[in-house]
Amino acid sequence: MDNFISFFEHVNENTLPMLWEGTLATIYITFLSSLLAYVAGLPLGVLLVVTSKVGVHPIVWLNKLLGFIVNILRSVPFLILLIAVLPLTRAIIGTTIGTKATVVPLFIASFPFVARLVEASLIEVNEGVIEAAWSMGSTPFQIIYKVLIPEALPSLINGAAIAVTTILSYSAMSGIVGGGGLGDIAIRYGYHRYETDIMFLTVIELVVIVQIIQAIGERWAKGSDKRLKLVAGRGLFGLGRAPWAGE
């Protein structure tokens, strides 16, 4: 028991406020980067699906080009991309340190990933349903926003949970270049100052946050999927019907 307590020798009255600030920073970085990644990645994913040879509006050369760019960005290891992008970060934000600066490399690393996740979700939509939409005289654009996206929504939500947790883990890595947040704390105290107990606490926290995001995402995805009989009777996003709503 003594060993256990002495393990936490570096924890003092400054630790909790610092961890709290780090947590807020991590959450801010993660959600901002995720939002931007989806702003770019969602349309990109739609394009990948729509312009493919078997897509709703084939433009094969564009499809190949976009796929090529996405593949290249995805194959660069994140840490290398982080460092390679430093000049760009400096140009846009004015500095390479801190929470705002982390968003640049995080965005560049994750929007291709989001695009692939979106692509995977949209491809799963039942081909027969798309055929039915064509037979009713839909235009390609109508098929995209009235059929593809709504029918893929539960899968898209699941993908978002995966994306956000991945971006979270990337944000922790950016701590190496002074990116702020829990990863930064872990590296500064845990690695540079050998205060392993602090690092341990940040890791626990990151694990907990990931679990929460994953659980929320899963619940939301399942709750909004009308293909599940149990869900179909439960109103918007599976959160249940308002008590005053009729049958």
Partner 1 sequence: MNILRTEHLKKTFPEATSGQDSCVLDDINISIEQGETYGIIGRSGAGKSTLVRCINFLERPTGGEVYFEGKAMSALPKAGLYKTRQSMGMIFQQFNLLEQRTALKNVRYPMEIAGWSKKDADARAEELLELVNMGDKKKSYPSQLSGGQRQRVAIARAIALNPKVLLCDEATSALDPETTKGVLDLLNEINRKYGITIVIITHEMSVIEYICDRVAILDDSRVVEEGPVLSILKNPQSETGKSFVKPEFRRIRG
Of the pair 35, 236, the CB lying nearest partner 1 is at 236
Task: Say if CB 49 and CB 124 are below 8 A apart.
Answer: no
Cα–Cα dist 189/10, whole Å = 9
55-87 burial, b for 16+ CB within 10 Å, e for fewer?
bbeeeeeebeebbeebeebeeeebeebbeebee
Of the pair 154, 217, the CB lying nearest partner 1 is at 154
Tokens of 14: 């400054």
Of the pair 125, 163, the CB lying nearest partner 1 is at 125
Cα–Cα dist 231/198, whole Å = 43
Of the pair 83, 129, the CB lying nearest partner 1 is at 129
Residue 135: alpha-carbon gap to chain centroid: 36
Cα–Cα dist 107/139, whole Å = 32
Cα Rg of the chain (Å, integer): 22
* Interacting residue ranges for partner 1, rule: CB under 8 A: 126, 128-129, 131-139, 142, 146-147, 150-151, 153-154, 225-229, 232-233, 247
Of the pair 24, 232, the CB lying nearest partner 1 is at 232
- Written as one string, the DSSP assignment of 97-136 is SSHHHHHHHHHHHHHHHHHHHHHHHHHTS-HHHHHHHHHT
Q: Nearest distance from residue 32's CB to partner 1, in Å? A: 29
Of the pair 68, 145, the CB lying nearest partner 1 is at 145
Q: Nearest distance from residue 121's CB to partner 1, in Å? A: 13
Q: Nearest distance from residue 218's CB to partner 1, in Å? A: 18
Q: Nearest distance from residue 55's CB to partner 1, in Å? A: 15
Q: Nearest distance from residue 165's CB to partner 1, in Å? A: 25
DSSP element (H, E) containing 89: helix 86-93
Q: Nearest distance from residue 208's CB to partner 1, in Å? A: 32
Q: Nearest distance from residue 37's CB to partner 1, in Å? A: 24
Of the pair 8, 237, the CB lying nearest partner 1 is at 237
